[in-house]
Amino acid sequence: MIQLQEIHTKKEMKQFVTFPFSLYKNNPYWVPPIIVDEMESFDKTKNPVFEHAIARFFVAKKNNKIVGRVAAIINKYETEKQGIKKMRFGWFDVIDDVEVTKALIDKVIEIGKEHNLSYVEGPVGFSNLDKTGVLTEGFDHIGTMITWYNHPYYKDHLEQLGFIQEKEYVESKFPFPRKNMEKYIKASNLIQKRYNLTPLNFTKSKDIMPYVDEMFELFSQSYAKLSTFVPISDAQVAYFKKKYINFINPEFIKFVVDENHKIIAFAIIMPSFSEAMQKAKGKLFPFGIFHLLKARKKPKNVTFYLIGVHPDYQNKGVTAIIFDLFFNTLKDKNIQDCIRTPELANNDAIRKIWKNFGSETIKRRKTYKLDI
């Protein structure tokens, strides 16, 4: 018999967070989260996302053993201001038993109906900065710290329960381009002169901080037209700034400013922490932090985390400046591969940015929708 338990205490939340550690034990492709970090993101007193979101957390049990989990999420900005009557679900993990999936999803549907919502979509997080999608291809590629990994049967469970595909995302990689960058260098110089633009490089995190609020304003302008977009609040920006900016290598953050010193483009890449997080096994101390710091200092691969260009400068080749900046930063660091984070499969603009890099699609993932 399947029993659902709602999470209320810190001890219960730790069980919610650590369930995937047993589900994916010895899986060489799953990347565990840092447990304390994951728990903090679900703490309503610490994460400002809860100013605009409601979340309830559940585990499914059989014989008093956890066999599944899910977070039921309502983004109030989305439902109240955008008029999108979406019930979200995320942090979905389950054994290969469709009845367990049904019990968890039925609870999500129940909550959605209580709030007069029209459909369920997932797996998704609270906002655009969270993980998204069920992995449908690429199970034999290592995950990243900013994506979910899952067993192949997840999609089968959802489809058996009547869910249909809502959005598809692709993840790609390409070898670090050590040759044939001359055209980007030439284009970068030309575009800088044509539009009176200036690239900004950094060596210290403290020098980046004054730009972070403006960067997120540009992020909103760049992504506002996407169907997945939900605005990021000022409090969330402050939280992100405090929690992550200091950890990102300052050399891996690039800005392009106009003649008035306003940011018109930005990009953030991150070292691949996947192998380091596997070695850390969910814990920063006593040794996990050293694995992460080593990966930060001497990465083998890098992940393109965020890239944004002001609408007025899109299709004007500004990305050539960004590529030139990163090429100069990374060319002496023995980087092997560049990983692209999940991008909407129908996002033609982003595909054009990368068309000349010989990217290989390595993963696909989908969100699924069910009318309620």
> Residue 226's pLDDT is what?
67
pLDDT in tens, 158-215: 999 999 999 999 999 999 987 777 888 899 999 999 999 999 999 998 999 999 999 9
Q: Which one is predicted more confidently, 5 or 226? A: 5
Residues 6 or more apart whose CB falls under 8 angstroms from that of 367 comprise 121, 122, 123, 124, 132, 133, 134, 165, 166, 167
What pLDDT was estimated at residue 182? 82
Q: What is the mean pLDDT of residues 95-119?
A: 98
Residue 66: pLDDT over 80:
yes
pLDDT value at residue 238: 86
Mean pLDDT over each residue of the chain, to the nearest integer: 93
Which of 97-111, 149-163, 321-335 shows the lowest mean pLDDT across its residues?
321-335
Residue 225 has pLDDT above 80, yes or no: no
For residue 63, is pLDDT > 90? yes
Q: Check whether residue 91 and residue 135 sit in a common domain.
A: yes
Mean pLDDT for the stretch of residues 14-42: 97
Could you tell me the CATH number of the domain that includes residue 66?
Answer: 3.40.630.30
368 in a domain, yes or no? no
Q: Is the dihedral of CA 294, 341, 284, 254 positive or negative?
A: positive
Question: What residue spans of the chain are helical by DSSP H?
Answer: 10-23, 35-41, 76, 98-114, 153-160, 182-195, 205-223, 234-240, 274-280, 288-297, 319-330, 348-354
CA-CA distance, 358 to 152, in Å (whole number)?
Answer: 27
Mean pLDDT of 23-29: 97
Per-residue pLDDT at 157 exceeds 80:
yes
Q: Is 187 found in the same domain as 154?
A: no
Phi, psi angle pair for 213, to nearest 5°: -60, -45
- 209 and 127 inside one domain: no
Host domain of residue 125: 2-171
**Mean predicted confidence (pLDDT) in 112-122:** 98
Band of the pLDDT at 154, cuts 50, 70, 90?
Answer: very high
- Report the pLDDT value the prediction gives residue 227, as an integer from 0 to 100: 63
Total structural domains in the chain? 2
Q: What percent of the chain has pLDDT over 90?
A: 76
pLDDT at 228: 66
- Based on the domain organization, do 248 and 130 belong to the same domain? no
Do both 284 and 245 map to the same domain?
yes
The percentage of residues in the chain with a pLDDT greater than 70, rounded to a whole number, is: 99
Kindly state whether residues 150 and 77 are assigned to the same domain. yes
